[in-house]
Amino acid sequence: MTETIGFIGLGNMGSPMAINLLKAGYNMRVYNRDLSKTQTLVDAGAKRGVRPSDVVEHGGIVITMLANDEALEAVTLGIDGILTHLSPGGIHISMSTVSPDLARKMQKLHEQQGCHYVAAPVFGRPEAAAARQLWIAEAGHPEAKKRVRPILDALGQGIFDFGEEAANANVVKISGNFLLASAMEAMGEAFTLGEKNGVERTKMYELFTQTLFACPAYKSYGKRIAEKNFEPVGFTMQLALKDINLVLDSAKEVVSPMPLASHLSNRLLSGIARGRSDRDWSELSRGVLDDAGIE
């Protein structure tokens, strides 16, 4: 590979993704607000930037993998942001979970600069990112998607295209996270009902994940919930609350009631109030145990 990719955001997800692009043969320039998090990539051959604009090549490709809307706006639109340095023909691949509204804004601003914004949020935990097993929802300009396809192929096991409107991919992403959180709540309630009736939680998990719900989400999160073992942390309750609130904001905008999402927001907020902000989001099921009077 001769193309150089800029990568911004080296957290639990971004770091293994950037490493996989290095392994795929791409030249890399990396930036993270906490510069110490760039060291692993630098040791592996990437070049470090001390500001977001440092990782941008004129007409090049930049990937962002950030925590929220505010972080994406800061690295894109700030004084040292990437947008004014990307130049015509450049592509910004946003793989973050952000609001559909911000995706619309970003796509418009990039088009005004003569470059492209491709939304490509991912499904998968850090271990899936490391194993190149992410699922990717993409949306954006057709030619831009064609150009970045080899990059996305190096990061995941499958890509689903949702058209030219970047916001579509983010609607899909927050909807998926809503479904995952809903499954965790449902498993927490079901396993707790069993436990209070003297049924072993792990036995219920084995039955359901081998029959009715034999799928990755129920198997991976169900095991944590059944065993009440929520380590290691892959995605925090604080970030989950942000995503569920994005769902509620989007639902309100299009007048689509989502009562379960409201319950999940309160469930997560309650967990955070109990000091679980940085715990794994599957620990939202501890709220069910709290309600049921189980230590």
Q: How far, in Å, are 78, 91, 146, 153, 225 from residue 159 at the CA level?
A: 30, 18, 12, 8, 29
Q: Which residues pair with 7 in a beta bridge?
A: 30, 63
pLDDT at 114: 95
Structural domains present in the chain: 4-164 (3.40.50.720), 170-292 (1.10.1040.10)
From first to last of its 295 residues, the chain has per-residue pLDDT tens of 568 999 999 999 999 999 999 999 999 999 999 999 999 999 999 999 999 999 999 899 999 999 999 999 999 998 899 998 998 999 999 999 999 999 999 999 999 999 999 999 999 999 999 999 999 999 999 999 999 999 999 999 999 999 999 999 999 999 999 999 999 999 999 999 999 999 999 999 999 999 999 999 999 999 999 999 999 999 999 999 999 999 999 999 999 999 999 999 999 999 999 999 999 999 999 999 999 999 8
pLDDT at 210: 97
Three-class DSSP labels, 185-201: HHHHHHHHHHHHCCCCH
Which residue is associated with the tokens 């069910």?
Answer: 288
Q: What is the pTM of this model?
A: 0.95
Catalytic residue positions, numbered: 173
